[in-house]
Amino acid sequence: MAIELGRSPIAAPRRHVSAWSRVYGLGSVYAKTLRDSRLAFLIMAGLLGGIMLVAGAAIGTAYATATSRADLVNLATTAAGSMPGVTGKAVNVGTLGGYVTWKYGPLFVIAAALWSILALSGTLATEASKGSLEFVAVAPFGKRRLALEKLAAHLTVLTAVLAILALASWVAGAVFGSVPGDAVPPQAAIGYALWVGLIALASGSVAFALSPSLGRAGAAGIAGFILFAGYLLNNLQVTEPALTGPAYLSWFYWTAGHLPLAGEYDWVSLVPVAVVAVVLFVVGLEAFVRRDIGASSSIRTPRLPRAILGLHGPIGRAFGERFSISLAWGIGLGFFGFGIAAISRSLADSFHTMSPASVKIFHDIFPLFDISTAGGFLQVVFVQLGFIVVGFAAATLVSGWASDETSGRLEMLLATPLARASWAVSGGLGVYLAIVLMTIVFAAGVGIGALMAGSDAVTPMAGSVTLGLYAAAVAGVGIAIGGLFRTSIAAEMAAVAVTVTFLIDMIAPPLRLPDWVHQLALTAHFGQPMVGIWDASGVVACLVIAFGGLALGGWGMRRRDVAR
Amino acid sequence: MVAIIETEKLTKSYGSHRGIVDVDLVVEQGEVFGFLGPNGAGKTTTIRVLLDLIRPTSGKASVFGIETTVDPVSIHRRIGYLPGEFTLYDRLTGGETLEYFGNLRGGVDTAYQASLIERFDLDPSRKFKEYSKGNKQKVGLVAALQHKPELLVLDEPTAGLDPLVQQTFFAVLREAVDEGRTVFLSSHVLSEAEKACDRVGIIRDGRLVKVDRVDALRDLAAHQVELRFTGPVPAAEFEALPGVSNVTAEDHVLRMHVTGPISPVVKAAARFDLADFVSREPSLEETFLAEYGHDAVEVANHGN
């Protein structure tokens, strides 16, 4: 056959791509990434903006007079003075913005940073592992532009979320402010949002830089560790001078003087955080451009013993699949519990030097137990946060259970003599065993910390069981929804249950909502378990929800089609 | 013969989307039944109903005489299943995966399992996530075969397998049938079905449009007959014969399509001075295309 040289084959006719679809839609990598981030935007904007408004409403309503604000300042400064490593600096806590910063400040920044870590560790690595990145990477533009567009899309969504946060801060001050100084000026709202955004970006940039080499899990794990370690170091260095050196490396330490909602500004401190983020983004871009696509060198973890793999049946298999992640949650929580329990000693010591009036304040606020014990300290400082953390841990375990169906593995499992209901129930029991493991490891951390503080270890260790029970109840909600409807929403619904419970528990008392509203929060029914004061109704409710959810999940699976 | 699979007016719809409609099907013991059709025709939906992974909207299906929605576990106990798309436990090795699936069935003959692993040339020591597409398919095949099920339900079983492993697969399949097992094999690769199946059913747009033996289906299509004569071509003699069409003459060569028995053509040709006689049997693929049109099936020849 004769071939005519010098002519290119006829190319397919090009369709015009509209300017809008290049910005949002399917017209570019940037537009597609933005489109894929819709749900994340709604969740984060709703969470950060919503909590800001709710917190503002709660403070403005519950402490509406100058006298009540004086009491609040008294409480906060006393607590901050006695627990400097835990509660952070109390600056202008008599104002709405100052109190929000002191009480809820870490919540906003850690939530935003975790989101950034998850998004930036996965934006390239997840697509690479699925294989879809190879399709995009052979498009007629370079890998650098591909990564830049994905990064730009995350920055856009983050900016939009921060704008909502700033707006909510301003609105909270304007609408709910009840005493002079409650108003949040635009400069403060923007300054606070900027700080949250830069800390989030710096944390996310670590994940972005590492993900081409380590893959998503390794990169997210290291970035998450740096985030929490930096936060804890910055807090703990106040009482433990030996930690001041490592704390210098924490961006929380660098920006400790920037508290815009409380009326303190340190704009210059934000510069090094921005520089770190930019440098790490460049490193990540170059790493992605130079490495083979999908060729990550995952962090080697030791093989699990065969006995833990659970090859003999579905319960053991479900537990074996969840073993590593539950152990990781347990260790993380255990370290946290250990630190809080151990640091209770500093409070006990400070009680000896505190004025009788200050001691009386504590006794008046916590009349049922001694806050200077490890259990008492954990009850006050840790339990509320602990419920949120174990709740989200349970949601991740439910996600693993659900992955049997969402990944398509369930078809092969159900083609064996394993009934649908048996799969749901045995998989759920595997999740509960994983929660037991997590709780045991966490309780061990608490116990060791309590012993180091010279305190009673048994009571707070026993109290740790309530966190496990709460996690099991959350998992029960997820399993029930997964079985009844579809497993692809099970983990999300479990996470929603945790968030709603937290919000009800947080806002119902200060807003003086009807008691039945507060009673809807499961976390309102545990008593003070870390000091040995148990409320049986909470325990029973958890067990009922956990095992009821399991039964409902099994029943639901029998009735519906298996998804592909 | 004993019916292993039997469906009656089996219908499954997904809201407004069509799944399968009024599928009546019987698969008998010891046969390899090919379930053919283009992508999206309803092959996988039918299989998923047979395994009770999804429930019929109307009609019913029975496997081993047991209605699928009544006691699916009893059915599952006796089948081996390979889905068209699947994933397994990323962190388990191939060997551990097979051990687990064997345990779910109360244990398997480890010698047979080992022989399958060897014949499929599978390295069982590697993690599932590290396998190539073809090796993952091998794990799925061994998992479906290792407990010597009475019925094998295989959805696109050769996808991703190289030709040598495909040969091994068909040999294993034939051995299974020789032992009295039944095979229900879904495919859109006609040459594969032609090679392996005794009977085929053709599904299109959710409806079963034809079920017959492979050779009977082949007879549906016209044989392409070419007669070479030493003298002038007697075209008119052949045009009038029953089943003969598309007669063309060129020099001393006469070409025609013959549907049905070929003996009238042979007898007519014998009356002349014949130099050569060529009759080509149509492939299942040609039959299928002739019967149902080119748009009825996406044919993948895979080098055959």
pLDDT of residue A68: 84
**CB contact burial A91-109 (16+ within 10 A = b; e otherwise):** bbbbbbbbbbbbbbbbbbb
Across residues B46-64, what is the average pLDDT?
A: 96
Spatial distance between the Cα atoms of A545 and B194, rounded to a whole number of angstroms: 55
Across residues A538-544, what is the average pLDDT?
A: 97
Say which amino acid occupies B240. A
Instruction: Flag if A309 and B92 touch (Cβ within 8 Å).
Output: yes
- pLDDT band at B221, cuts 50/70/90? low
Q: Which residue, A377, A383, A340, A312, is CA-closest to A527?
A: A383
For chains A and B, what is the number of CB pairs under 8 angstroms? 73
Least-confidence region, from A97-101, A343-347, B113-117, B298-302: B298-302
pLDDT of residue A78: 73
- More confident: A62 or B44: B44
Share of chain A above pLDDT 70, in %: 92
pLDDT of residue B297: 43
Across residues B157-170, what is the average pLDDT?
A: 93
With beta carbons less than 8 A apart as the criterion, state whether B64 and B151 touch: yes
Tens digit of each residue's pLDDT (9 = 90 or more) over B187-201: 877 778 888 899 999
With beta carbons less than 8 A apart as the criterion, state whether A216 and A124 touch: no
Spatial distance between the Cα atoms of A81 and A214, rounded to a whole number of angstroms: 42
Sheet bearing B58-63, strands edge to edge = B17-28, B3-14, B58-63, B66-67
Q: Which of B72, B86, B99 sits opposite A412 (nearest CB)?
A: B86
- Which helix or strand (DSSP H or E) is residue A441 part of? helix A420-452
With beta carbons less than 8 A apart as the criterion, state whether B258 and B270 touch: no
Rg, chain A, Cα only: 25
In 3-state terms chain B splits into helix, strand, coil percentages (rounded to 5) of 35, 30, 35
Q: Which of B51, B54, B96 sits opposite A309 (nearest CB)?
A: B96
Q: Which of B51, B54, B103 sits opposite A311 (nearest CB)?
A: B103
Instruction: Flag if A408 and B91 touch (Cβ within 8 Å).
Output: no
With a cut of 60, say whether residue B204 has pLDDT above it.
Answer: yes
* Global ipTM: 0.80
Tens digit of each residue's pLDDT (9 = 90 or more) over B277-301: 998 877 766 767 666 655 544 433 3
B51 neighbourhood in chain A, CB within 8 Å: 411, 414-415
pLDDT of residue A86: 63
Instruction: Flag if A411 and B81 touch (Cβ within 8 Å).
Output: yes
Instruction: Flag if A321 and B100 touch (Cβ within 8 Å).
Output: no
Tens digit of each residue's pLDDT (9 = 90 or more) over A246-260: 889 999 999 999 999
Share of chain B above pLDDT 90, in %: 62
Tokens, residue A361: 């304040």
Chain A contact present for B15, CB below 8 A: no
Spatial distance between the Cα atoms of A111 and A114, rounded to a whole number of angstroms: 5
pLDDT of residue A5: 57
pLDDT of residue A59: 86
Spatial distance between the Cα atoms of B288 and B190, rounded to a whole number of angstroms: 9
pLDDT of residue B219: 66
- What are the Cα distances from residue B216, in Å, to A502, B49, B207? 69, 28, 20
Instruction: Flag if A309 and B86 touch (Cβ within 8 Å).
Output: no
With a cut of 90, say whether residue A105 has pLDDT above it.
Answer: no
Least-confidence region, from A226-235, B49-58, B70-79: A226-235
B interface mutation test: which of A311, A327, A401, A564 has the most B CBs within 10 A? A311
With beta carbons less than 8 A apart as the criterion, state whether A317 and A311 touch: yes
pLDDT of residue B300: 35
Spatial distance between the Cα atoms of B217 and B207, rounded to a whole number of angstroms: 18
Chain B contact present for A308, CB below 8 A: no
**CB contact burial A228-243 (16+ within 10 A = b; e otherwise):** bbbbbbbbbbbbeeeb
Please tell me the distance in Å from B22's CA to the nearest CA on chain A. Answer: 19
Tens digit of each residue's pLDDT (9 = 90 or more) over A347-387: 667 666 666 776 676 677 677 777 778 888 889 888 988 99
B103 neighbourhood in chain A, CB within 8 Å: 311-313
Say which amino acid occupies A282. V
Please tell me the distance in Å from A228's CA to the nearest CA on chain B. Answer: 28
A325 neighbourhood in chain B, CB within 8 Å: none
- pLDDT band at A511, cuts 50/70/90? confident
- pLDDT band at A233, cuts 50/70/90? confident
- pLDDT band at A313, cuts 50/70/90? very high
Across residues A451-458, what is the average pLDDT?
A: 91
Please state whether beta strands B58-63 and B244-250 pair in parallel, antiparallel, or not at all (unpaired). Answer: unpaired
With beta carbons less than 8 A apart as the criterion, state whether B101 and B143 touch: yes
Across residues A331-335, what is the average pLDDT?
A: 90
Q: How many CA atoms lie less than 13 Å away from A374 in the CB half-sphere?
A: 29
Q: How many CA atoms lie less than 13 Å away from A268 in the CB half-sphere?
A: 0
Tokens, residue A21: 């679809």
Taking all residues of chain B, what is their mean pLDDT, rounded to a whole number?
A: 88
Share of chain A above pLDDT 90, in %: 52
Q: Is B227 exposed, middle or buried (0-12, 13-18, 19+ CB in 10 A)?
A: buried
- More confident: A184 or A300: A184
Chain A contact present for B53, CB below 8 A: yes
With beta carbons less than 8 A apart as the criterion, state whether A266 and A257 touch: yes
Tens digit of each residue's pLDDT (9 = 90 or more) over A129-177: 777 777 777 777 778 888 899 999 999 999 999 999 999 999 999 999 9
In chain A, the residue whose alpha carbon lies closest to the alpha carbon of B71 is A419
- pLDDT band at B53, cuts 50/70/90? very high
Chain B contact present for A130, CB below 8 A: no
- pLDDT band at A81, cuts 50/70/90? low
With beta carbons less than 8 A apart as the criterion, state whether A314 and A430 touch: yes
With a cut of 90, say whether residue A109 has pLDDT above it.
Answer: yes
With a cut of 50, say whether residue B304 has pLDDT above it.
Answer: no
- More confident: A376 or A481: A481
Which residues in chain B (116-175) have CB-CB distances under 8 A to chain A?
Answer: 140, 143, 153
- More confident: A498 or A140: A498
Across residues B29-41, what is the average pLDDT?
A: 91
With a cut of 70, say whether residue B46 has pLDDT above it.
Answer: yes
Place of tokens 């830049």: A148
pLDDT of residue B192: 80
Least-confidence region, from A163-172, A211-220, A487-496, B125-134: A211-220
- Which helix or strand (DSSP H or E) is residue B245 part of? strand B244-250
Chain B contact present for A415, CB below 8 A: yes
With beta carbons less than 8 A apart as the criterion, state whether B58 and B11 touch: yes
The separation between the first and the last C-alpha atoms of chain B, rounded to the nearest angstrom, is: 33
Least-confidence region, from A87-91, A324-328, B111-115: A87-91
A411 neighbourhood in chain B, CB within 8 Å: 48, 51, 53, 81, 83, 86
Task: Return the bridge partners of B210, or none.
Answer: B202
Spatial distance between the Cα atoms of A426 and A544, rounded to a whole number of angstroms: 17
- Where do the structural domains in chain A lie, given as residue ranges? 25-301, 314-564
pLDDT of residue A294: 65
Chain B contact present for A274, CB below 8 A: no
Q: Which residue, B28, B12, B14, is CA-closest to B199?
A: B28
Chain B contact present for A301, CB below 8 A: no
Instruction: Flag if A415 and B80 touch (Cβ within 8 Å).
Output: yes
Q: Which residue, A174, A416, A100, A355, is CA-closest to B53?
A: A416
Please tell me the distance in Å from B24's CA to the nearest CA on chain A. Answer: 21
B87 neighbourhood in chain A, CB within 8 Å: 407-409
Taking all residues of chain A, what is their mean pLDDT, rounded to a whole number?
A: 88
Spatial distance between the Cα atoms of A244 and A257, rounded to a whole number of angstroms: 16
- Ordered by where they begin, the domains of chain B are 3-213 (3.40.50.300), 222-281 (3.30.70.100)
B86 neighbourhood in chain A, CB within 8 Å: 408-409, 411-412
pLDDT of residue A1: 47
Tokens, residue A339: 């630190």
pLDDT of residue A330: 94
Task: Return the bridge partners of A389, or none.
Answer: none
- More confident: A551 or B267: A551
Q: Which residues, 6 or more positions from B182, have their beta carbon under 8 angstroms from its beta carbon? A: B4, B5, B27, B28, B29, B30, B31, B32, B33, B150, B151, B152
pLDDT of residue B303: 31
- More confident: A317 or B37: A317
Task: Return the bridge partners of A131, or none.
Answer: none
B55 neighbourhood in chain A, CB within 8 Å: 561
pLDDT of residue A14: 67
Q: Which of B52, B73, B86 sits opposite A417 (nearest CB)?
A: B73
Chain A contact present for B40, CB below 8 A: no
Instruction: Flag if A408 and B83 touch (Cβ within 8 Å).
Output: yes
Chain B contact present for A414, CB below 8 A: yes
With a cut of 50, say whether residue A430 has pLDDT above it.
Answer: yes
Spatial distance between the Cα atoms of A500 and A521, rounded to a whole number of angstroms: 8
Please state whether beta strands B253-258 and B274-280 pair in parallel, antiparallel, or not at all (unpaired). Answer: unpaired
Got the DSSP string for A536-554? Answer: HHHHHHHHHHHHHHHHHHH
CB atoms within 10 A of CB A137: 16
B interface mutation test: which of A411, A422, A559, A561 has the most B CBs within 10 A? A411
Instruction: Flag if B81 and A412 touch (Cβ within 8 Å).
Output: yes
- The three-point CA angle B171-B173-B175 to 5° equals 70
Tens digit of each residue's pLDDT (9 = 90 or more) over A386-409: 998 899 999 999 999 999 998 889
